[in-house]
């Protein structure tokens, strides 16, 4: 009878708190996501209008697969990179699935584990691409600042551009723009930029290319256009920082909810004299249930991360 009373009291106190907390952070997430979506749409629409108005497209001679493009952006341009990546993904999924099967003795957990963890290397690949993108865009903004300043001082674009590239602090940015320095006079400016587009997924680089193209058509004097681009990129960076700060608060709230859930589980396990712990970690059915609970929570965190992610 004592256990029953404690159980009722526990549910009366904890469940409403959990529901109210979850509702609050869900509403906050929805509000912040709408604000972020509006701002990003404004930035994306502006870029799209530039592309549509100029009708400037770089078309590759050879179409590549989605995975191949992603591997190129991540710095793996080898022709066999796709097969190696697929092999690593499947092998990793099977290895983790086999380990989980040894612990849980469940074919269902084995199949789900293989499917879920085979996708994990792709998430790692996306993280590598994002880090390279941030590194490159930071270096690009620095180069644009230097080029703009030198052009206002009377230095020609080509001289200012090459000097800015050579003095860049980002090695990856140097590597990408090294193609322009080494191959521009041989294969032409358009082809040089086309090769650069294959190395980094950067909207800012494409806009920079459009500015240069417009400047060439207007006689080469486009320091004012570069100055406008410089201010736009800095303003865009400021907006993204503000949005990132607000989305971090949402993520902290999500982790707090998970911590609260774990706390409730521990309290209930204490009330029931370890019955919950024995069921979820001592029986086959309990282990399978706990496995799917963990998968579901991880999936929720993934969705939350995607909803609050700032697309570069």
The pLDDT of residue 87 is: 92
C-alpha pair distances (Å), 158 with each of 97, 168, 226:
55, 15, 14
Q: List pLDDT tens digits, range 286-306.
A: 888 888 888 877 777 777 666
- Please report how the helices 189-197 and 203-217 are oriented relative to each other, as an axis angle in degrees rounded to 10: 170
Quote the percentage of the chain above a pLDDT of 90.
10
CA 25 to chain centre: 22
The pLDDT of residue 8 is: 47
The pLDDT of residue 306 is: 66
Q: Which residues of 201-227 are buried (b: 16+ CB within 10 A; e: fewer)?
A: bbbbbbbbbbbbbebeeeeeebbebbb
Measured CA to CA, the distance from residue 160 to residue 171 in angstroms comes to 18
Domain boundaries, the chain: 1-55+238-312, 136-234
Neighbours of 132 (CB within 10 A): 20
From 42-46, 120-124, 151-155, 234-238, the region with the lowest mean pLDDT: 42-46
As a whole number, mean pLDDT of residues 246-270 equals: 77
Tokens of 241: 């920082």
Question: Which pTM value belongs to this model?
Answer: 0.66
Q: Comparing C-alpha atoms, which of 109, 80, 69 is closest to residue 93?
A: 109
Taking the alpha carbons at both ends of the chain, their separation in whole angstroms is 58
Q: List pLDDT tens digits, range 182-224.
A: 888 888 888 899 999 989 988 889 888 888 888 777 665 667 7
Measured CA to CA, the distance from residue 127 to residue 120 in angstroms comes to 11
- The residue with greater pLDDT, 43 or 180, is 180
The pLDDT of residue 57 is: 45
Tokens of 138: 């930071």
**Mean of pLDDT over the chain:** 77
- The residue with greater pLDDT, 128 or 308, is 128
Quote the percentage of the chain above a pLDDT of 70.
71
Asked if pLDDT for residue 42 goes beyond 60, the answer is: no
The pLDDT of residue 148 is: 87
As a whole number, mean pLDDT of residues 163-191 equals: 89
Measured CA to CA, the distance from residue 220 to residue 132 in angstroms comes to 31
Q: What pLDDT band is residue 136 in, cutting at 50, 70 and 90? A: very high
Q: List pLDDT tens digits, range 43-102.
A: 555 444 544 544 444 444 456 788 889 999 998 888 888 899 999 999 998 998 888 888
Residues across the chain:
312
Q: What is the dihedral of CA 48, 129, 310, 140, to 10 degrees?
A: -60
- The residue with greater pLDDT, 107 or 40, is 107
Asked if pLDDT for residue 281 goes beyond 60, the answer is: yes
């Amino acid at each position: 009878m004592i256990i029953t009373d404690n159980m009722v009291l526990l549910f009366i106190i904890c469940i409403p708190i959990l529901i109210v907390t979850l509702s609050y952070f869900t509403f906050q997430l929805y509000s912040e996501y709408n604000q972020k979506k509006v701002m990003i749409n404004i930035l994306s629409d502006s870029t799209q209008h530039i592309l549509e108005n100029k009708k400037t497209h770089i078309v590759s001679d050879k179409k590549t697969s989605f995975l191949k493009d992603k591997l190129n952006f991540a710095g793996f341009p080898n022709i066999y990179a796709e097969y190696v990546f697929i092999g690593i993904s499947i092998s990793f999924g099977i290895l983790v699935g086999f380990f989980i099967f040894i612990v849980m003795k469940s074919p269902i957990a084995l199949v789900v584990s293989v499917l879920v963890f085979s996708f994990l290397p792709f998430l790692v690949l996306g993280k590598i691409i994002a880090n390279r993108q941030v590194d490159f865009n930071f270096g690009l903004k620095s180069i644009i600042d230097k080029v703009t300043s030198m052009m206002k001082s009377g230095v020609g674009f080509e001289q200012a551009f090459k000097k800015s590239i050579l003095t860049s602090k980002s090695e990856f940015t140097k590597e990408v723009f090294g193609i322009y320095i080494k191959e521009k006079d041989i294969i032409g400016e358009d082809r040089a930029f086309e090769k650069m587009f294959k190395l980094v997924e950067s909207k800012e680089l494409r806009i920079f290319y459009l500015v240069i193209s417009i400047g060439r058509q207007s006689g080469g004097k486009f320091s004012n256009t570069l100055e406008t681009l410089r201010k736009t990129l800095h303003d865009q960076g400021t907006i993204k920082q503000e949005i990132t700060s607000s989305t971090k608060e949402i993520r902290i709230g999500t982790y707090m909810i998970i911590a609260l859930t774990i706390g409730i589980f521990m309290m209930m396990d204490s009330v029931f004299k370890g019955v919950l712990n024995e069921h979820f970690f001592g029986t086959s059915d309990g282990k399978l249930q706990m496995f799917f609970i963990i998968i579901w929570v991880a999936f929720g965190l993934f969705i939350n991360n995607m909803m609050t992610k700032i697309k570069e």
